[in-house]
Structure 1
Amino acid sequence: MPIFSKPKRPKAEDRTIARVAPRKLSFTAPASRDVFPELADALDTQENIMKSRAADVAARKLLQEEIAADKSPDVDPDVAALIGETPSEKAIKRQQVAELKRKELVAGSALEIIEKRIAAMQPKAERAVCVAVRPEADLRLAALCEALKAVDVAHAELNDLLLAVEAQGVSTDGLGQIRPHFLGGAQDPQRRIAGYLKEVREAGCAV
């Protein structure tokens, strides 16, 4: 009796997306809080209030759980005082819950004020960051512009060669697709490199 081998199933395609490590930047800009002390103070205050409120919320929830689990009689402290008794533990916890809720509301109001102040400070803080990185930005911009000028010259020289070939009635197709069309015309005043360098100069940079 013939034995037929089962056809092998093709391996499932691995659709796992390869994780690409983020590129390590060659420069680290200062944080807004590092160059604008007023913002740093406001952010620290905000963080402290948020931590305190989170602790109050956790304490309140724990007390509320304990109150729900406590089946003993609940005597209001004012009532207990009138009849000459000590307030029940449950009643004391209710008072604590009420106080914690009050503190949460106060913290929420304080956070609203702090958040508005932080938002108002952000534009000045961002300008301070730009001022701090300006020297390095100028150096790197100058390097880029010099490189672009060299590309512009090389582009013009390549274009001269192509024109010289065409002047002999020869098509440049035999050289392959070597024209850098993305740069625009080599002699065009509106070519991309010339346009960018003009924008940089108009922005006040000496290039």
Structure 2
Amino acid sequence: MDFSSISFLDPALWGKLLEIIALNIVLSGDNAVVIALACRALSPEQRSKGIALGAGVAVVLRVIFTVLIASLLNTPFLHIIGAVLLVWIAVKLIIEDGESDEDSITASSKLWKAVQTVAIADIVMSLDNVLAIAAVAKDSIPLLVAGLVISIPLIVLGASLITSLLTRFPILVWAGAALLGWVAGEMFDTDPWLVARFGAETVHRFEYPAALIGALLVVGLGYLLKHRRPDPAL
């Protein structure tokens, strides 16, 4: 759809735009968690920059994947691979919680590492979100891009609020990681290979158990690996 075909006086256009924005806000809740978790250890000066960059990366990747990846979501094992990557990211966030090594990691490398974590997580988590947004935008790429770009400040705000809470209540890091594990479990359960092998109805029955197992797996692995690591203060 080209820009010349867009009528800005069309109520349907604004309705779809609002629908995309609202849908993206809901689907970006996990992104805000990832951004907040990844940026919590940055210095105050770097944190705001990391949140802004992370939110920008999240939205840009959402646009790209909504446009390009929808046709790949029926590929067998893609959701399984994504779930494994998401579990790895969540466990890594738990293990690194509270660590600070200023001598070996500069502020700029910390910032890049945080943005890189956000990018990897968003690539994985976008797999289940792109079809919903694409279904609203249909063939209107300008409408899709506009709705997602407008959502940037909303994602930044959500990440900023969550970051403040993580700073005050470190236990929430574990809750955030568990949420990522929950998403990983849901993603694993929706893999096309499993649906084809066992049937959609059977797979759907295990959606919540799989999500719960994913959350427990992240917390359990995070606890074991974190307590097996040598104390850096010793």
Tell me if both proteins adopt one fold, taking TM over 0.5 as the criterion.
no
Look at both structures and tell me which one has the larger radius of gyration over its CA atoms: 1
Give TM class, smaller chain: under 0.3
RCO higher in structure (CA 8 A, sep ≥6): 2
